[in-house]
Homo-oligomer: A and B are copies of this chain.
Amino acid sequence: MIILALDPGAYIEDLDEWLSKIIDETKDLVVGYKVGLPLLIAGGLEAYRTVREKAPNNLLIADLKFADVGDIMSMSIDHLSKTGVDAVIAHSFIGYKDALDKLSMKCFERNIKLILVISMSHRGSEEYIDRHVNEFIELTDKTGAWGVVAPATRPEIIKNIRERIGDRIKIFSPGIGFQGAEPGTAICHGADYEIIGRAVTTSSNPRERLLEILEVQREVIERCKRS
CB distance from A124 to the nearest CB of B (A): 3
CB distance from A82 to the nearest CB of B (A): 8
Count of residues in A whose CB is under 8 Å from the partner chain: 55
User: Are A122's CB and B95's CB within 8 A?
Assistant: yes
User: Are B99's CB and A69's CB within 8 A?
Assistant: no
CB distance from A5 to the nearest CB of B (A): 9
The 8 A CB mask of A67-94 against B (1 = contact, 0 = none) is 1111110011011101000000001111
- Candidates B75, B122, B126; contact of A70 at CB < 8 Å: B122
Cα A103 to Cα B170 with chains together (Å): 30
The 8 A CB mask of A118-135 against B (1 = contact, 0 = none) is 001111111111001001
CB distance from A172 to the nearest CB of B (A): 14
In the complex, the count of this chain's copies comes to: 2
Is the CB of A211 closer than 8 A to any CB of chain B? no
CB distance from A130 to the nearest CB of B (A): 9
Given A9-B78, A41-B79, verify A93-B95 contact (CB < 8 Å).
no
Nearest B residue to A48 by beta-carbon distance? B41
Given A41-B80, A44-B44, A64-B37, verify A9-B75 contact (CB < 8 Å).
yes
Given A44-B46, A70-B122, A128-B135, verify A38-B79 contact (CB < 8 Å).
yes
Is the CB of A192 closer than 8 A to any CB of chain B? no
User: Are A95's CB and B68's CB within 8 A?
Assistant: no
Given A65-B67, A70-B122, verify A95-B36 contact (CB < 8 Å).
no
Is the CB of A7 closer than 8 A to any CB of chain B? yes
Give chain A interface residues in 47-66, CB to chain B under 8 Å: 64-66
- Candidates B37, B79, B96, B123; contact of A98 at CB < 8 Å: B123
User: Are A124's CB and B68's CB within 8 A?
Assistant: no
Cα A113 to Cα B8 with chains together (Å): 23
CB distance from A154 to the nearest CB of B (A): 13
Q: What residues on B are CB-neighbors of A224 within 8 Å?
A: none
List the 5 closest A-B pairs by CB distance, nearest first: A95-B124, A44-B44, A95-B127, A10-B78, A98-B122
